[in-house]
Amino acid sequence: MKLVGAALFVAFVVPHVNALSQQKGLDWESRFRSLTNKENIRENDKRLSARPHHLGSPYDKENAEWILARFKEWGFDAKIETFNVLSPTPKERFLEMVGPTTFTAKLKEPTIQGDPTSDQQSEQLPTFNAYSVDGNVTAPLVYVNYGIPGDYDELERQGISVKGTIVIARYGASWRGIKPKVAAEHGAIGCIIYSDPRDDGFFQGDVFPKGAYRNKDGVQRGSVLDMPIYPGDPLTPGVGATKNAKRLDLNDVKVFTKIPVLPISYGDAQPLLENLEGPVAPESWRGALPITYHIGPGPAKVHLKVTFNWDLKPVHDVIAKITGAVYPDEWVIRGNHQDAWVNGAEDPISGISAELEEARVLGELLKQGWKPKRTIIYCAWDGEEEGLLGSTEWVETHADELAQKAVLYINSDSNGRGFLGASGSHTLEKFINGVARAIQDPEKGMSVWKRSQLLQISKARSPEDRAEIRRRPDLRIGALGSGSDYTAFIDHLGIASLDLGYGGEDGGGIYHSVYDDFYWYTHFSDKDFGYGQALAQTGGTAILRFADADLLPFDFGGFTETIQRYLSELKKLQSSMREEICERDKEIEEGVFTAISDPQKSSVPPSREELPPYLNFAPLDNAVEKLSRSTERFEEDLNKLKQAGNNSLNGNALRKLNRQLMMSERTLTSPEGLPGRPWFRHMVYAPGMYTGYGVKTIPGVREAIEQKQWKEADDQIVRAALIFENEATLIDSASADIEKASESHSGN
């Protein structure tokens, strides 16, 4: 579902306690990496993307069965778990302009000569947005830029209301599901989303098939389920969509859109946009179509009709296990989805193809005598595109067991050419940096860590940032929002997670279109699957290290430092909002807005606003200080332990310590969850209510401030503080155990 982001990063020393075990670990690791073969990844990609294979399609099932067979062949204990989920598909799709001139949208991606899979029209899903409600509306059109809340503030300043209109928003700046959500909140009765060539088309580069970018007929399909409330099957929130699960009535579902939505190409959008009058759109709103962008409303008047088959469909998750030899009840999980909107050679097949190569090589190691200490589970998710259905239902179904056993989840979702991108739990920052130092970049004679570091140096925004990148042993990793299958693991259950992928040299515009296929991928992306191999090496090395580590390689130093930064950000957010409102009120009083407005253009000056109160950040300040002291103590204890060498911790002590480390991410969750969305239980990371994919860190507090809910912000500060105090307590308990074990050892 998600394209690889820009969050770049990367460990220095993996805190393996047992030096001997570490050495052996590295042997298996090197062997693992040298056994990966990019040709296999190519063959996987070719096979899995050969036909359209969306949720519920014949080839989706065929692929699941093929993957199952491979896992079994490689020695995994594998099975398919099937869930029954609500997955609407289009019955009618109709968009026409009824005035001032008429035009009927094509809503069709044509076959491209030379591209052998683009003609599989009988199997292709048409262009649509999943979980749009049925609708049949006719109304004047309004252009709302990206359709995010700030755009509606601008409309208000221009005196334009979208009430009773159909809005047309361009893709970008937020996850697509935000656009109809915000439009409906402002009274719109329909929503069209189009790919503007400025962001996703000829402005960026030559279009397909000459080049990699979106052509005028390409359409971005995609889900518009209100996933910031809960992802997964809309009918079974919080529980697995098993055969006999209790299901909501369709009318009681809160996560469908409120208004009908349809995605279109820029070829279809241009006639509509050309027929808007009213104010010229602000400069930052203008795209690359050869027109003057106006806002409207109208005169373009459009008729939009969409209806759907509201059917249950089977989701086929492939789950493959190697049981751990020492700690079978500690699970290291790896996943990537296998369903696609159409052929999906990039999204997601480039990712699952690498994951399968990892699994093949792990199978090879098994044959060579390797036995992982922990249980390894490889997953191929289905129904990710509609709303993370396969992974969410599996997690919800196995929630109790996962809460007890899951150590780590490593996700990928598509892959490309370029630089390693890594996001995840900050307790894993040092770990994944270490992995990245072990992987060679296939284009350059250096590690992917080094290449990322040098990229970050070149992109640093200030000399201070640049100095930090040069000095800090680890590159920072991004926090996880949503948009892929880690969501249920980290956000619902608090399982430490990572999301990995390569990109940055693989620009293109075929996302969620029929042109995301093997022809495109092998002409414009990671053509020889060299980065596919790098991803298999990265994912596999991470799995091996975690599965075989004596002491689990979680680290609290980078985590605590990151939390300190988030706290500073929150304070700065609050103070800059104060300053902004104070300044704006002053300018209203001075008459700035009336003085500078052009009398020949309509504009509405902003209204005076109450100055926000000062918030009580003291609970967070105290909790983060406590966390910081606990982290220091733990790091000192760990250092002493390492210096003491082997066998400092006996089996039981180690097992207990590992259990505490495993629970450190769980401790960051709260059973009540976030305000208004109890499914989201992580108190540090969540997708934003109005960003969709984009993360909000310490989300309870941050979103309360952003939405100017001052009382709520004060309450959420107390809740977040409690979480960090609990985390500090857990870390202190781990330290006490190490200290006790060391004493008893040195006492011997």
Task: Give the residues lining the site for its own copies (CB under 8 A).
Answer: 197, 202-207, 211, 213, 280, 286, 288-292, 418, 443-444, 446, 450-451, 454-455, 457-458, 463, 466, 505, 579, 583, 587, 590-596, 598-600
321: tokens are: 């296990």
- The distance of closest approach from Cβ of residue 147 to its own copies in the complex, given in angstroms and rounded to an integer, is 21
Tell me which long-range contacts 565-570 makes (C-beta under 8 A, separation of at least 24).
566/684, 566/697, 566/698, 567/617, 567/620, 567/621, 567/624, 567/698, 569/697, 570/617, 570/620, 570/698, 570/701, 570/702, 570/705
26: tokens are: 């590295």
- The distance of closest approach from Cβ of residue 440 to its own copies in the complex, given in angstroms and rounded to an integer, is 13
- The distance of closest approach from Cβ of residue 614 to its own copies in the complex, given in angstroms and rounded to an integer, is 19
Do the beta carbons of residue 318 and residue 64 sit within 8 Å? Answer: yes
- The distance of closest approach from Cβ of residue 202 to its own copies in the complex, given in angstroms and rounded to an integer, is 5
- The distance of closest approach from Cβ of residue 597 to its own copies in the complex, given in angstroms and rounded to an integer, is 9
Q: Which DSSP helix (H) or strand (E) runs through 244?
A: none
The SS3 assignment for 278 reads: coil
- The distance of closest approach from Cβ of residue 409 to its own copies in the complex, given in angstroms and rounded to an integer, is 31
- By beta-carbon proximity to its own copies, the closer residue of 170 and 696 is 170
The whole-angstrom separation of Cα 600 and Cα 748 is: 89
- By beta-carbon proximity to its own copies, the closer residue of 367 and 444 is 444
Cα torsion at 579, 584, 590, 592 (round to 10°)?
130
The SS3 assignment for 575 reads: helix
- By beta-carbon proximity to its own copies, the closer residue of 429 and 441 is 441
The whole-angstrom separation of Cα 241 and Cα 82 is: 9
Listed residue (103, 106, 93) closest to 305, CA to CA: 93
- By beta-carbon proximity to its own copies, the closer residue of 363 and 418 is 418
Exposure on the CB side of residue 158, measured as CA atoms within 13 A: 22
- By beta-carbon proximity to its own copies, the closer residue of 212 and 567 is 212
AA identity, residue 598: D
- By beta-carbon proximity to its own copies, the closer residue of 267 and 481 is 267
- By beta-carbon proximity to its own copies, the closer residue of 446 and 611 is 446
Q: In whole angstroms, how far apart are CA 211 and each of 230, 510, 515, 522?
A: 38, 11, 12, 12
Residue 145 DSSP code: T
Contacts of 38 (CB under 8 A, 6+ apart): 528, 529, 530, 532, 533
CA 325-328-333 angle, to 5 degrees, is 110
- The distance of closest approach from Cβ of residue 263 to its own copies in the complex, given in angstroms and rounded to an integer, is 21
Q: Count other Cβ atoms within 10 Å, centred on residue 532.
A: 31
Sign, Cα dihedral of 588, 591, 595, 598: positive
Does a cis peptide bond (omega within 30 degrees of 0) precede residue 297? yes
Give bridge partners of residue 376 from the DSSP assignment. Answer: 322, 332
- By beta-carbon proximity to its own copies, the closer residue of 597 and 628 is 597
- By beta-carbon proximity to its own copies, the closer residue of 369 and 599 is 599
439: tokens are: 């992987």
- By beta-carbon proximity to its own copies, the closer residue of 272 and 359 is 272
- By beta-carbon proximity to its own copies, the closer residue of 453 and 660 is 453
- The distance of closest approach from Cβ of residue 595 to its own copies in the complex, given in angstroms and rounded to an integer, is 4
- By beta-carbon proximity to its own copies, the closer residue of 609 and 715 is 609
Q: Which runs of consecutive H residues, i.e. helices, occur in 129-254?
A: 149-157, 178-185, 197-200
Q: Which runs of consecutive H residues, i.e. helices, occur in 506-556?
A: 518-524, 530-548
- The distance of closest approach from Cβ of residue 206 to its own copies in the complex, given in angstroms and rounded to an integer, is 5
The whole-angstrom separation of Cα 79 and Cα 63 is: 13
- The distance of closest approach from Cβ of residue 531 to its own copies in the complex, given in angstroms and rounded to an integer, is 12
- The distance of closest approach from Cβ of residue 473 to its own copies in the complex, given in angstroms and rounded to an integer, is 16
- The distance of closest approach from Cβ of residue 529 to its own copies in the complex, given in angstroms and rounded to an integer, is 15
- By beta-carbon proximity to its own copies, the closer residue of 4 and 289 is 289
The whole-angstrom separation of Cα 732 and Cα 730 is: 5
- The distance of closest approach from Cβ of residue 443 to its own copies in the complex, given in angstroms and rounded to an integer, is 5
